[in-house]
Amino acid sequence: DTAVSQTPKYLVTQMGNDKSIKCEQNLGHDTMYWYKQDSKKFLKIMFSYNNKELIINETVPNRFSPKSPDKAHLNLHINSLELGDSAVYFCASSPFRTSGRGLNTQYFGPGTRLTVL
């Protein structure tokens, strides 16, 4: 009954390769996110989709391309992997709030530890 799942959990690859990470949520949420957590545990938003539409695109190299085939899935494709891409990548989901205050609890997947050699 996993709420947010990611595959694979671990990914070890060579520099220059292309790889994908998949994410699925069964919470019925409209919004999904990709975060990157570096070796110092700093957690930073990369992308967000709402109902298959890209709504957040932070300053991320264009080697990173998210894709949302439907609102329950958000994948991340990375081209030409570099050493600095080594990190843990978390997918998350939440309900969508159009405006105003209020809690925006995000539910995180277990993470994908990417190691680029």
Partner 1 sequence: GQSLEQPSEVTAVEGAIVQINCTYQTSGFYGLSWYQQHDGGAPTFLSYNALDGLEETGRFSSFLSRSDSYGYLLLQELQMKDSASYFCAVRGGGATNKLIFGTGTLLAVQP
Q: How far is the CB of 23 from partner 1 (least distance, A)?
A: 12
Q: What is the rounded distance in angstroms from the CA atom of residue 3 to the CA atom of residue 18?
A: 27
Which residues from 17-36 bind partner 1, rule CB under 8 A?
Answer: 31, 33
Q: According to CB under 8 A, which residues from 45 to 74 bind partner 1?
A: 45, 48, 50, 55-56
Nearest to 22 by CA among 13, 34, 12: 34
Judged by beta carbon, residue 5 or residue 13, the one nearer partner 1 is 5
Q: Please state the closest distance from residue 10 (CB atom) to partner 1, in A.
A: 11
User: Beta-carbon neighbour count of residue 75 at 10 Å?
Assistant: 19
Does 102 bind partner 1 (CB under 8 A)? Our answer is yes
Q: Taking CB under 8 A as the rule, does residue 41 contact partner 1?
A: yes
Half-sphere exposure of 77 (CA within 13 A, CB side): 7
Instruction: Compute the least distance from the CB of residue 18 to partner 1, in Å.
Output: 25
Distance, CA of 4 to CA of 72 (rounded, Å): 9
Q: Residue 92: which of 66, 59, 65, 114 has the closest Cα?
A: 66
Residues that bind partner 1 in the complex, under the rule CB under 8 A = 31, 33, 41-45, 48, 50, 55-56, 90, 94, 96-111
